[in-house]
Amino acid sequence: MNLVNDLIPDVEKFMKDYKLECPAAANRFKIGVPATIEHSINHDPSKSAKYVAETVSHFITLMDALKLNMKAVDEIHPMLSDLMQSLNKVNTLPAESEAKIRNWLITLNAMKASDEINEEQVRQLIFDLDNAHNAFYRSLSDKN
């Protein structure tokens, strides 16, 4: 989506102008993660420890980047997308936390690559990530 953002800044307006009725596709553009990744059912139990480690790494990397004042969409979007993909492989995050991360992806997808999130958004994103990280740990210990 970011590749054509200059040509089509508003996907919903484009769909309305061309009378396209495909709400699932519009939602997919908002989320910015392919459905095959978001709804992955390809869980390999032998790799679950690897997926947990990857997920923790993505949480920490993104939170550290934000704390180091990285605010540009093109800097933080790839890390947030990697986190979402990793969480989908583990599939233990409570729905509320997953929804918050997905909403941040939607927010970033609606922005240009050169845009930056403001200080209030940085603070909220760190807060949401920290809560999701804690919920992730709790969900892992609940499984044992």
What DSSP line would sit under 9-41, residue for residue?
A: S-HHHHHHHTT---HHHHHHHHH-S-HHHHT--
Instruction: Scan for tokens 């690897």, then name that residue.
Output: 50
pLDDT score for 116: 97
pLDDT, the chain, mean: 83
Mind listing the pLDDT tens digit for each residue in 31-59? Answer: 666 665 555 555 555 567 888 899 999 99
Mind listing the pLDDT tens digit for each residue in 59-96? Answer: 999 999 999 999 999 999 999 999 998 888 887 778 88
CATH of domain 2-143: 1.20.120.1130
CA dihedral 48, 52, 58, 63 (to 10 degrees): 160
Is a pLDDT exceeding 90 seen at residue 128?
yes
Q: What is the pTM of this model?
A: 0.70
* Cα atoms found within 13 Å of the Cα of residue 8, Cβ hemisphere only: 15
* Cα atoms found within 13 Å of the Cα of residue 42, Cβ hemisphere only: 7
- 13 compared with 30, residue with greater pLDDT: 13
pLDDT score for 1: 43
Distance CA 8, CA 22 (A): 17
Could you tell me if 31 and 109 are in contact, meaning their C-beta atoms sit under 8 angstroms apart? Answer: yes
